[in-house]
Protein backbone atom coordinates (compact mmCIF):
# COMPACT_ATOMS: atom_id res chain seq x y z
CA UNK A 1 0.00 0.00 0.00
CA UNK A 2 1.29 3.46 -0.88
CA UNK A 3 1.08 6.56 1.27
CA UNK A 4 1.73 10.13 0.16
CA UNK A 5 1.46 13.47 1.94
CA UNK A 6 0.15 16.83 0.81
CA UNK A 7 0.73 20.23 2.42
CA UNK A 8 -0.37 21.05 5.93
CA UNK A 9 -2.25 24.42 5.78
CA UNK A 10 -32.12 -3.51 10.87
CA UNK A 11 -35.43 -5.11 10.49
CA UNK A 12 -35.23 -4.54 6.76
CA UNK A 13 -33.27 -7.12 4.79
CA UNK A 14 -30.10 -5.92 3.07
CA UNK A 15 -30.37 -5.31 -0.64
CA UNK A 16 -28.70 -8.07 -2.63
CA UNK A 17 -25.14 -7.04 -3.59
CA UNK A 18 -24.66 -6.04 -7.22
CA UNK A 19 -23.99 -8.84 -9.65
CA UNK A 20 -21.94 -6.79 -12.09
CA UNK A 21 -18.78 -4.79 -11.49
CA UNK A 22 -17.22 -1.82 -13.20
CA UNK A 23 -13.46 -2.24 -13.50
CA UNK A 24 -12.31 1.31 -12.88
CA UNK A 25 -10.88 3.04 -9.84
CA UNK A 26 -12.65 4.24 -6.69
CA UNK A 27 -11.86 7.42 -4.79
CA UNK A 28 -12.72 7.54 -1.08
CA UNK A 29 -12.43 10.98 0.54
CA UNK A 30 -12.59 11.09 4.33
CA UNK A 31 -11.19 7.57 4.38
CA UNK A 32 -10.58 7.60 8.13
CA UNK A 33 -14.29 7.34 8.95
CA UNK A 34 -15.94 4.06 9.87
CA UNK A 35 -18.23 4.00 6.84
CA UNK A 36 -15.37 4.88 4.49
CA UNK A 37 -13.32 2.04 5.95
CA UNK A 38 -16.22 -0.34 5.40
CA UNK A 39 -16.52 0.86 1.80
CA UNK A 40 -12.84 0.14 1.20
CA UNK A 41 -13.24 -3.34 2.71
CA UNK A 42 -16.30 -4.06 0.56
CA UNK A 43 -14.71 -2.78 -2.65
CA UNK A 44 -11.70 -5.02 -2.06
CA UNK A 45 -13.90 -7.98 -1.14
CA UNK A 46 -16.06 -7.58 -4.25
CA UNK A 47 -13.07 -6.91 -6.53
CA UNK A 48 -15.41 -4.39 -8.14
CA UNK A 49 -12.74 -1.77 -8.92
CA UNK A 50 -9.24 -1.88 -10.37
CA UNK A 51 -7.78 0.22 -7.55
CA UNK A 52 -8.69 2.51 -4.66
CA UNK A 53 -7.39 5.97 -3.80
CA UNK A 54 -8.10 6.78 -0.13
CA UNK A 55 -7.77 10.37 1.10
CA UNK A 56 -7.71 11.48 4.73
CA UNK A 57 -6.18 14.07 7.06
CA UNK A 58 -4.03 11.43 8.71
CA UNK A 59 -2.98 7.93 7.76
CA UNK A 60 -6.42 6.43 7.07
CA UNK A 61 -5.47 2.78 6.78
CA UNK A 62 -8.39 0.96 8.42
CA UNK A 63 -7.69 -1.93 10.76
CA UNK A 64 -8.34 -5.41 9.47
CA UNK A 65 -7.84 -4.75 5.75
CA UNK A 66 -7.40 -7.97 3.80
CA UNK A 67 -3.71 -8.86 3.85
CA UNK A 68 -3.49 -9.47 0.12
CA UNK A 69 -4.76 -6.45 -1.78
CA UNK A 70 -2.66 -6.99 -4.88
CA UNK A 71 -5.77 -7.51 -6.99
CA UNK A 72 -7.22 -4.22 -5.70
CA UNK A 73 -4.29 -1.94 -4.82
CA UNK A 74 -4.97 0.84 -2.32
CA UNK A 75 -3.09 4.16 -2.39
CA UNK A 76 -3.33 6.45 0.63
CA UNK A 77 -3.03 10.21 0.29
CA UNK A 78 -2.91 12.64 3.21
CA UNK A 79 -4.73 15.95 2.74
CA UNK A 80 -5.43 18.76 5.20
CA UNK A 81 -8.54 19.79 3.20
CA UNK A 82 -7.28 23.27 2.50
CA UNK A 83 -8.15 24.52 -0.97
CA UNK A 84 -4.53 24.12 -2.09
CA UNK A 85 -4.28 20.57 -0.76
CA UNK A 86 -7.57 19.52 -2.38
CA UNK A 87 -6.33 20.92 -5.68
CA UNK A 88 -3.02 19.07 -5.24
CA UNK A 89 -4.77 15.74 -4.64
CA UNK A 90 -6.99 16.24 -7.68
CA UNK A 91 -3.94 17.06 -9.78
CA UNK A 92 -2.19 13.91 -8.60
CA UNK A 93 -4.85 11.35 -9.53
CA UNK A 94 -5.83 10.32 -13.04
CA UNK A 95 -7.54 7.60 -15.03
CA UNK A 96 -11.14 6.42 -15.10
CA UNK A 97 -13.23 6.22 -11.94
CA UNK A 98 -16.45 4.31 -11.34
CA UNK A 99 -17.00 5.43 -7.73
CA UNK A 100 -16.25 8.58 -5.76
CA UNK A 101 -17.31 8.85 -2.12
CA UNK A 102 -17.06 12.14 -0.22
CA UNK A 103 -17.47 10.85 3.34
CA UNK A 104 -16.39 13.98 5.23
CA UNK A 105 -18.70 15.74 7.66
CA UNK A 106 -19.28 16.63 11.29
CA UNK A 107 -22.31 16.75 13.57
CA UNK A 108 -20.57 17.46 16.87
CA UNK A 109 -17.14 17.57 18.45
CA UNK A 110 -15.60 18.71 21.71
CA UNK A 111 -16.90 22.26 21.28
CA UNK A 112 -19.94 21.88 18.98
CA UNK A 113 -23.25 20.34 19.96
CA UNK A 114 -26.51 20.38 17.97
CA UNK A 115 -28.74 23.25 19.07
CA UNK A 116 -31.93 22.37 20.94
CA UNK A 117 -33.22 25.97 20.98
CA UNK A 118 -32.70 29.05 18.83
CA UNK A 119 -30.91 30.63 21.80
CA UNK A 120 -28.17 28.03 21.37
CA UNK A 121 -27.09 29.30 17.95
CA UNK A 122 -23.45 30.38 17.93
CA UNK A 123 -22.06 32.17 14.88
CA UNK A 124 -18.61 30.59 15.11
CA UNK A 125 -19.95 27.06 15.47
CA UNK A 126 -22.40 27.55 12.62
CA UNK A 127 -19.62 28.85 10.36
CA UNK A 128 -17.45 25.84 11.22
CA UNK A 129 -20.20 23.35 10.38
CA UNK A 130 -21.00 25.14 7.13
CA UNK A 131 -17.32 25.07 6.18
CA UNK A 132 -16.87 21.35 6.88
CA UNK A 133 -20.24 20.07 5.69
CA UNK A 134 -20.92 22.38 2.74
CA UNK A 135 -17.86 24.27 1.53
CA UNK A 136 -15.33 21.41 1.59
CA UNK A 137 -17.53 19.08 -0.52
CA UNK A 138 -18.06 21.99 -2.93
CA UNK A 139 -14.28 22.38 -3.28
CA UNK A 140 -13.97 18.66 -4.03
CA UNK A 141 -16.72 18.87 -6.66
CA UNK A 142 -14.87 21.78 -8.21
CA UNK A 143 -11.46 20.10 -8.18
CA UNK A 144 -12.68 16.70 -9.41
CA UNK A 145 -14.56 17.86 -12.49
CA UNK A 146 -11.46 17.86 -14.75
CA UNK A 147 -10.43 14.47 -13.32
CA UNK A 148 -13.78 12.77 -13.84
CA UNK A 149 -14.95 14.29 -17.11
CA UNK A 150 -13.58 11.40 -19.18
CA UNK A 151 -14.92 8.60 -16.97
CA UNK A 152 -17.62 6.73 -18.94
CA UNK A 153 -19.73 5.93 -15.86
CA UNK A 154 -19.10 7.12 -12.34
CA UNK A 155 -21.37 7.66 -9.34
CA UNK A 156 -20.15 10.52 -7.15
CA UNK A 157 -21.67 10.10 -3.69
CA UNK A 158 -21.71 12.92 -1.16
CA UNK A 159 -22.75 11.97 2.36
CA UNK A 160 -25.72 14.13 3.30
CA UNK A 161 -28.47 13.54 5.88
CA UNK A 162 -32.24 13.36 5.98
CA UNK A 163 -32.28 16.42 8.25
CA UNK A 164 -30.96 18.40 5.28
CA UNK A 165 -34.39 18.11 3.69
CA UNK A 166 -36.24 21.43 4.00
CA UNK A 167 -39.64 19.87 3.27
CA UNK A 168 -39.12 17.02 5.76
CA UNK A 169 -38.31 19.22 8.77
CA UNK A 170 -41.02 18.60 11.37
CA UNK A 171 -39.03 18.51 14.61
CA UNK A 172 -36.89 21.64 14.38
CA UNK A 173 -33.65 22.10 16.28
CA UNK A 174 -30.16 21.29 15.03
CA UNK A 175 -30.03 24.64 13.21
CA UNK A 176 -26.42 24.57 12.08
CA UNK A 177 -26.29 20.92 11.05
CA UNK A 178 -29.62 21.14 9.19
CA UNK A 179 -28.51 24.33 7.43
CA UNK A 180 -25.14 22.87 6.45
CA UNK A 181 -26.70 19.73 4.96
CA UNK A 182 -29.43 21.72 3.19
CA UNK A 183 -26.69 23.90 1.69
CA UNK A 184 -24.78 20.75 0.71
CA UNK A 185 -27.88 19.38 -1.02
CA UNK A 186 -28.23 22.58 -3.03
CA UNK A 187 -24.56 22.41 -4.00
CA UNK A 188 -25.00 18.81 -5.21
CA UNK A 189 -28.20 19.66 -7.06
CA UNK A 190 -26.57 22.66 -8.75
CA UNK A 191 -23.34 20.84 -9.58
CA UNK A 192 -25.35 18.07 -11.24
CA UNK A 193 -26.61 20.57 -13.81
CA UNK A 194 -23.08 21.60 -14.75
CA UNK A 195 -21.65 18.08 -14.57
CA UNK A 196 -24.37 16.95 -17.00
CA UNK A 197 -22.97 19.37 -19.58
CA UNK A 198 -19.26 18.97 -18.92
CA UNK A 199 -18.95 15.42 -17.53
CA UNK A 200 -22.00 13.50 -18.76
CA UNK A 201 -20.76 10.16 -17.44
CA UNK A 202 -21.05 11.31 -13.84
CA UNK A 203 -24.12 10.74 -11.63
CA UNK A 204 -24.32 12.79 -8.41
CA UNK A 205 -25.91 11.28 -5.31
CA UNK A 206 -26.68 12.92 -1.95
CA UNK A 207 -26.81 9.93 0.39
CA UNK A 208 -28.43 9.54 3.82
CA UNK A 209 -26.88 6.49 5.55
CA UNK A 210 -29.41 6.30 8.39
CA UNK A 211 -28.23 6.11 11.99
CA UNK A 212 -24.93 4.27 11.91
CA UNK A 213 -23.13 2.96 14.98
CA UNK A 214 -20.19 5.37 14.84
CA UNK A 215 -18.72 8.08 17.07
CA UNK A 216 -20.75 10.67 15.16
CA UNK A 217 -24.10 9.19 16.23
CA UNK A 218 -23.17 7.65 19.59
CA UNK A 219 -24.51 10.49 21.78
CA UNK A 220 -27.87 10.30 19.96
CA UNK A 221 -28.50 6.55 19.84
CA UNK A 222 -30.58 6.06 23.00
CA UNK A 223 -33.91 6.63 21.22
CA UNK A 224 -32.99 4.61 18.14
CA UNK A 225 -34.53 1.13 17.86
CA UNK A 226 -31.93 -1.61 17.65
CA UNK A 227 -33.06 -2.64 14.18
CA UNK A 228 -32.62 0.96 12.96
CA UNK A 229 -29.04 1.27 14.22
CA UNK A 230 -26.91 0.09 11.32
CA UNK A 231 -23.36 -1.15 11.13
CA UNK A 232 -20.93 0.60 8.79
CA UNK A 233 -20.61 -2.66 6.88
CA UNK A 234 -24.35 -2.83 6.23
CA UNK A 235 -24.43 0.76 4.99
CA UNK A 236 -21.44 0.19 2.72
CA UNK A 237 -23.13 -2.82 1.13
CA UNK A 238 -26.36 -0.90 0.64
CA UNK A 239 -24.60 2.09 -0.88
CA UNK A 240 -22.62 0.04 -3.39
CA UNK A 241 -25.79 -1.72 -4.47
CA UNK A 242 -27.59 1.60 -4.89
CA UNK A 243 -24.69 3.01 -6.92
CA UNK A 244 -24.75 0.02 -9.28
CA UNK A 245 -28.43 0.59 -10.08
CA UNK A 246 -28.43 4.38 -10.60
CA UNK A 247 -29.05 5.66 -14.13
CA UNK A 248 -26.96 8.33 -15.81
CA UNK A 249 -29.90 10.70 -16.03
CA UNK A 250 -28.08 14.05 -15.77
CA UNK A 251 -29.81 14.75 -12.44
CA UNK A 252 -28.85 14.60 -8.77
CA UNK A 253 -30.54 11.98 -6.60
CA UNK A 254 -31.22 12.30 -2.86
CA UNK A 255 -31.64 8.80 -1.44
CA UNK A 256 -31.56 7.02 1.89
CA UNK A 257 -29.80 3.79 2.84
CA UNK A 258 -32.69 1.71 1.46
CA UNK A 259 -32.54 3.45 -1.91
CA UNK A 260 -35.73 5.43 -1.19
CA UNK A 261 -35.98 9.04 -2.43
CA UNK A 262 -35.97 11.89 0.09
CA UNK A 263 -37.76 15.14 -0.68
CA UNK A 264 -35.29 17.97 -1.22
Task: Give me the count of residues in the chain.
Answer: 264
Per-residue pLDDT, 63: 47
Which of 1.10.260.40, 1.10.10.60, 3.90.440.10, 3.40.50.720 would CATH assign to domain 2-256?
A: 3.40.50.720
Are 3 and 78 in contact by the 8 Å Cβ rule? The answer is yes
What are the extents of the domains in the chain?
2-256
Q: Residue 128 contacts by C-beta under 8 Å, 6 or more apart in sequence?
A: 106, 112
| pLDDT for residue 61 | 58
The answer to whether the beta carbons of residues 51 and 73 sit under 8 Å apart is yes
CA angle 249–253–255, rounded 5-degree value: 140
pLDDT of residue 139: 98
Single pTM value for the model:
0.87
pLDDT tens, per residue, the chain with 264 residues? 445 544 443 333 443 333 334 479 999 999 999 999 999 999 999 888 999 999 999 865 554 455 455 579 999 999 999 999 999 999 999 999 999 999 999 998 889 999 999 999 999 999 999 999 999 999 999 999 999 999 999 999 999 999 999 999 999 999 999 999 999 999 999 999 999 999 999 999 999 999 887 665 556 555 655 566 889 999 999 999 999 999 999 999 999 999 999 999
Q: What is the DSSP string of the chain?
A: -EEEE------SPPPPPPS----SEEEEESTTSHHHHHHHHHHHHHT-SSEEEEEESS----TT--S--SSS-EEEEE----HHHHHHHHHH--S-EEEEEE----S--SS----SSGGG--HHHHHHHHIIIIIHHHHHHHHHHHHHTT-SSEEEEEE--GGG-STT--S---HHHHHHHHHHHHHHHHHHHHHHHH-TTEEEEEEE--EESSTTTGGG-TTS-GGGEE-HHHHHHHHHHHHHH----SS-EEEETTS-B---
Residue 117 CB neighbours (<10 A): 9
Amino acid sequence: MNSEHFPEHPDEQPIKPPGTCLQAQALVIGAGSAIAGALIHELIHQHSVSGIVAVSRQSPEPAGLPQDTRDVPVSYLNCDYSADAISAVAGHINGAFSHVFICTGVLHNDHIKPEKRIEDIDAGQMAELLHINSILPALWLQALLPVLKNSPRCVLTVFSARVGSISDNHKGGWYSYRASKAALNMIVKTAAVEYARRAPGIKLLAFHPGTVDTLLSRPFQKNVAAEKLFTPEFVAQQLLTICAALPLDAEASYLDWAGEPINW
